Amino acid sequence: MYQSFIGLEIHIHLTAETKAFCGCNARYGDEENTNICPVCMGFPGVLPTLNEKAIQMSYLVAKALNCKLSPKTRFERKNYFYPDMPKNYQISQFTDPVGRDGHIDIEIGDTIKRVRIHDVHFEEDAGKMIHAGDMSLLDYNRAGYPLLEVVTEPDLVVGEDAEAFLKSFRRMVRYLGVCDGNMEEGSMRCDANVSINLQGAGLGEKVEIKNLNSSRFVRKALNYEIGRQSEMMDAHKVIIQETRLWNENRDQSEPMRRKEAANDYRYFPEPDLPPFMPSAEFLKEVDDSMCELPFARKQRLMSGHGLSSDQAEYIHDEKYRADFFEHCVFAGADAVQVYSWLSSDVKKLLNRTGLTLEKCPLTAERLAKLIALIEEGQISGKIAKTVLDYIFEEDKDPDKICDEKGLVQISDPGAIGKIIDEVMLKNGDVVQAIKDGDLRQMGFLVGQVMQASGGKAAPQVVQSVLKEKVLG
């Protein structure tokens, strides 16, 4: 059998407000060629000025990936020609990237895998070419976006590993607030390197698959490629180093260019930017921006709040959701109850309204209060769902909604007794049947009482009073 090796190169757009080397807006979706200036268009005589905020984010990511942080990070020119790259070189990093030699632990199924990080380096993005019929149009809005490239060692084995890695990585950068992780909009992009070889023979000839724009495609493309290469090995064919593209319509990879056409980037030090040496103050700010990372958080949700792995998986997936969850628990709500609400009713409402947890009227205090109302017996679980709807509709606290709508549960046995009396009067035959021994009909009566009370009667009280009245 063969051994496969996968390494990833992930590019993320940093959520800095301005471009890497000028003051233009770094914003997705604006009208073409509106966020441009002489600097990002590479006019004669302009010089780059380093966006310190973006460099800070880069150090944050490198730190989160347990890299050795560079005390003196340098910039290099990477020379190659492309119509959407204004200077025809990209300012990037080569000899002293922001960080190197890191690692990250990810969960793949039930196991935890450590993936080594080769390096994390800062660079600028190119513009975008739009092909329209026999014309090619250029949009330079994206030219100069601050970009971070994370390069892993070839520690991943199959497509599923790569998919899991990307999901963990995406979650991490979102936790850190440095990238929105949106692969469709191109704010996170991935190239994958894959090689196979006989067991124990080390790395094989490398094939690169470029421009994978979803973690699902990464999995499919890699597994396809491993299969293709295995078949070639079986047939004693030589695998050549090349770059391939994933064709998502045909579910197969196709050759893009061969090694012979490989670029010579002629890296050399960027003379227009001095090396960046982070000060103690700068590094302290990096430390202060660090948050508890998703992997650690999941462990803590399980050990500290008694959630199962699946429950913790759902809660920790988004940082805001995990914060919301812990806020509810801190306010006294039961952890599993909070999980249940978030993963079902709240989720459904969010989907229906198209809102996010951050932007919806439900706050952690309101959910905690709602759960408390149930536990105190003030409302039933069923009413609680109605109350939740009202919170979304009216943006009010749950107790206020209960007051205004008269949704407080009836748990007074006297009041419930009166309702039961009416129900018994109307359903004399059913009462008689129960008395004659058909206890299955009891449920029908409970339902009638609940209906007559408009759902407000406390079910347990109904049960006990009804039993007493019917069976004596």
Partner 1 sequence: MSDFEKKWSAVLSQAPVLKAYKNYVGTWEKKIGSFLEFDPNRNVGKELPEGPLKGIPFAVKDNIAVKNFKLTCGSKMLEQLVSPYTATAVENLQKAGAVVVGKTNLDEFGMGSSTDNSALGKTNNPWDLERVAGGSSGGSAAAVAAGLVPFALGSDTGGSIRQPASFCGVYGLKPTYGVVSRYGLTAYASSLEVIGVLARNTEITKKVFESMKGQDPMDHTSLDHNPSGKSVKTIGVLKNTHGALSPEVSASYEATIKRLEKAGYKLLEIDLPTLDYVVPAYYTIATAEASANLARYNGIRYGHAPLFAENPTELMKKSRHEGFGDEVKLRILLGTYVLRSGFQDQYYVRAQKIRTAIRQDVERWYSKADVLMMPVFPTPAFRHGSTDMDPFQQKQADLYTCTANLVGHPALSVPSTLENGLPVGVQFMAPPFEEDRLFQVSALLEKEFQAPEAPGYLTDWS
Residue 217 identity: F
How many whole angstroms separate alpha carbon 182 and alpha carbon 212?
12
Structural contact between residues 77 and 303, judged by C-beta atoms closer than 8 angstroms: no
End-to-end Cα spacing for the chain: 76
The binder of partner 1 chosen from 271, 354, 414, 428 (CB under 8 A): 271
- Taking CA atoms, 349 is separated from 90, 290, 345, 384, in Å, by 46, 32, 6, 13
Q: Determine, following the binding rule CB under 8 A, whether residue 71 of this chain makes contact with partner 1.
A: no
**From the CB of 243, what's the least distance to partner 1, in Å?**
18
* Residue 50 or 158 having the CB closest to partner 1: 50
- The residues, any chain, with a CB within 8 Å of residue 335's CB and separated by 6 or more, are 305, 306, 307, 325, 329
Q: Which is nearer to partner 1, 28 or 43 (CB)?
A: 43
Among 34, 38, 255, 432, which residue sits at the site for partner 1 (rule: CB under 8 A)?
38
Report if residue 45 touches partner 1, rule: CB under 8 A. Answer: yes
Residue number with CB closer to partner 1 (42 or 413): 42
Alpha-carbon distance of 36 to 78, in angstroms, equals 22
d(CA 333, CA 314): 18
Is residue 138 within the footprint of partner 1 (CB under 8 A)?
yes
Sign of CA dihedral 275, 277, 278, 281: negative
Per DSSP, 181 falls in state -
Residue pair 316/295 in contact (Cβ under 8 Å)? The answer is no
Per CB under 8 A, the segment of 246-254, 268-276, 298-306, 414-422 that binds partner 1 is 268-276
* 3-state secondary structure (DSSP) of residue 378: coil
260 binds partner 1 (CB under 8 A): no
Part in contact with partner 1 (CB under 8 A); list of ranges 55-63, 79-87, 155-163, 167-175:
79-87
Q: Count of H helices and E strands in the chain?
A: 16, 14
Q: Which of 3, 9, 27, 50 binds partner 1 (CB under 8 A)?
A: 50
Q: CA-to-CA distance for 135 and 138, rounded, in angstroms?
A: 10
Q: Does 264 bind partner 1 (CB under 8 A)?
A: yes
The window from 85-93, 212-220, 306-314, 319-327 that contacts partner 1 (CB under 8 A) reads: 85-93
Minimum CB–partner distance for residue 389 and partner 1 (Å) = 54
Pick the stretch among 36-44, 101-109, 419-427, 429-437 that binds partner 1 (CB under 8 A).
36-44
Per CB under 8 A, does 29 bind partner 1? no
The single residue among 265, 282, 392, 444 that binds partner 1, judged by CB under 8 A, is 265
Q: Pick the piece of the chain touching partner 1 (CB under 8 A) from 82-90, 92-100, 198-206, 432-440.
A: 82-90
Strands (E), 125-241: 128-132, 135-139, 146-152, 188-198, 207-212
- The yes or no reply on residue 268 touching partner 1 (CB under 8 A) is yes
State the nearest-atom distance from the C-beta of 76 to partner 1, in Å: 10
Give residues in contact with partner 1 (CB under 8 A).
Answer: 38, 41-50, 77, 79, 81, 83, 86-89, 136, 138, 140, 264-266, 268, 271-274
